[in-house]
Amino acid sequence: MIEFAVENLETPALTKAQLAELLFDQIGLNKRESKDMIDAVFDLIAQSLVDGKDVKLSGFGNFQIRTKAPRPGRNPRTGEAIPIQARRVVIFHASSKLKEQIQTAAIG
């Protein structure tokens, strides 16, 4: 298993560019291949979700599309009632394995 050390990254969030850099550094792919691979993975995930398919990543979690029904809302500035249209949203559920890793890291 490859260990991805992210503590030396400059930002608190892990970016696609940083993932590509990790592939370059730790697997030995060239920079262009690394970027293309990361882009391809995220494009596949996004297209599957757009097509209405769930995405299940073993040991990580599930991305699911949910359709939210229309509902009444309120403009917080004016208090005016406004309708909120039906929409599709992406929901992420972390796997129990990922949850356990996060808890272990927080405690340890």
The CATH number corresponding to 16-73+81-107 among 3.30.70.270, 1.10.1330.10, 3.90.1150.10, 4.10.520.10 equals 4.10.520.10
| Backbone φ and ψ of 66, nearest 5° | -125, 140
What pLDDT, on a 0 to 100 scale, did the predictor assign at position 27? 87
The band of 11, judged by pLDDT with boundaries at 50, 70 and 90, is low
What pLDDT, on a 0 to 100 scale, did the predictor assign at position 33? 92
pLDDT digits (tens, 9 = 90+) for 15-56: 999 999 998 999 888 999 999 999 999 999 999 999 999 999
Judged against a pLDDT cut of 50, whether residue 1 lies above it is answered with: no
- Predicted TM-score (pTM) above 0.85: no
What residues does each domain of the chain span?
A: 16-73+81-107
| Percent of all residues in the chain with a pLDDT value above 90, rounded to a whole number | 74
